[in-house]
Amino acid sequence: MINLEMKEEVVKIAKKADQMELCRHKSGNFSVIDRKEKLIYITPSGISREDLTPEKIIVVDMEGNIVDGNLQPSIETSMHITAYKIKPEAGGVAHTHSRYSTIFACMGKEIPPVSIEAIHYGGKPVKVAEFAPPGSKKLAQTIVEPMKESDVCLLKYHGVIAVGEDLEKALIKLIYVEEVAFLYYHMLALGQKEFMPLNLFDAILNG
Ligand SMILES: [Zn+2]
């Protein structure tokens, strides 16, 4: 059965990401999963967030076949499906082209946890998935390795992706990745070479 609330949730978070300038115009994609029905609710391809309404959210099965909706699902649907398969506890997936995060994605440089804000996504370095063209099956596979021990990763020359218990929590992780990327960028610009020791995160996480 199709769940209207899930469609509304995808629209709400997609628009929020846009308002926060984590993605612009048509870039970025967002989804939630109904684990019981094995259905994914995802943003359509080629629609600006300002024109996005719950009716435009596409419902696909775990193979990417359209179950409900009149538009094409996001070209990154297979990446979302892969994320749900490798993260069985995930309820939402968010992908944006957040500016500072994408600088490091384009440089192929992981983002170390330079401030305690990284705790919001596990306190680990954000790794970079190898490059594959947007929308390709290969891109979906590139996230498997870097997301093994993390809920977030950078997509080389492209952007950033996060999974969360729900879609809002996935977006919050992207907000904090962007914040840490912003800090790290400026620390590098000021010539800083030493960063917060990783074992401090272990200490914080283990209380
Ligand atoms: Zn993208």
Domain ranges, ordered by start, for the chain: 4-205
Encode pLDDT of 82-139 as tens digits: 999 999 999 999 999 999 999 999 999 999 999 999 999 999 999 999 999 988 889 9
187, amino acid identity: M
pLDDT band at 205 (very low <50, low <70, confident <90, very high): confident
Reported in sequence order, the residue ranges of 71-117 that DSSP labels E, i.e. its strands, are: 92-96
Which one is catalytic: 76, 130, 145, 178?
76
- Write down the pLDDT at residue 203: 84
Q: How many A from CA of 206 to the centre of ligand 1?
A: 34
Q: How many A from CA of 200 to the centre of ligand 1?
A: 33
pLDDT for 199 beyond 90 = no
Q: How many A from CA of 107 to the centre of ligand 1?
A: 16
pLDDT band at 153 (very low <50, low <70, confident <90, very high): very high
128, amino acid identity: V
pLDDT band at 27 (very low <50, low <70, confident <90, very high): confident
- Write down the pLDDT at residue 105: 98
What percentage of the chain has pLDDT greater than the value 70?
A: 100
Q: How many A from CA of 26 to the centre of ligand 1?
A: 9
- Write down the pLDDT at residue 37: 97
d(CA 169, CA 162): 9
Q: What burial letters (b/e) apply to 75-87, b meaning 16+ CB within 10 Å? A: ebbbbbbbbbeeb
Please state which CATH number belongs to domain 4-205: 3.40.225.10
Q: How many A from CA of 118 to the centre of ligand 1?
A: 22
- Write down the pLDDT at residue 200: 85
Whole-number average pLDDT of the chain? 95
- Neighbouring residues of the ion ligand 1, judged by CB less than 5 Å: 159
What's the angle, vertex CA 85, arms to CA 81 and CA 91, rounded to 5? 75
Q: How many A from CA of 95 to the centre of ligand 1?
A: 6
* 3-class secondary-structure state, position 205: helix
pLDDT for 207 beyond 80 = no
- Write down the pLDDT at residue 68: 97
To the query of whether residue 37 is one of the catalytic residues in this protein, the response is no
d(CA 162, CA 78): 15
pLDDT for 168 beyond 80 = yes
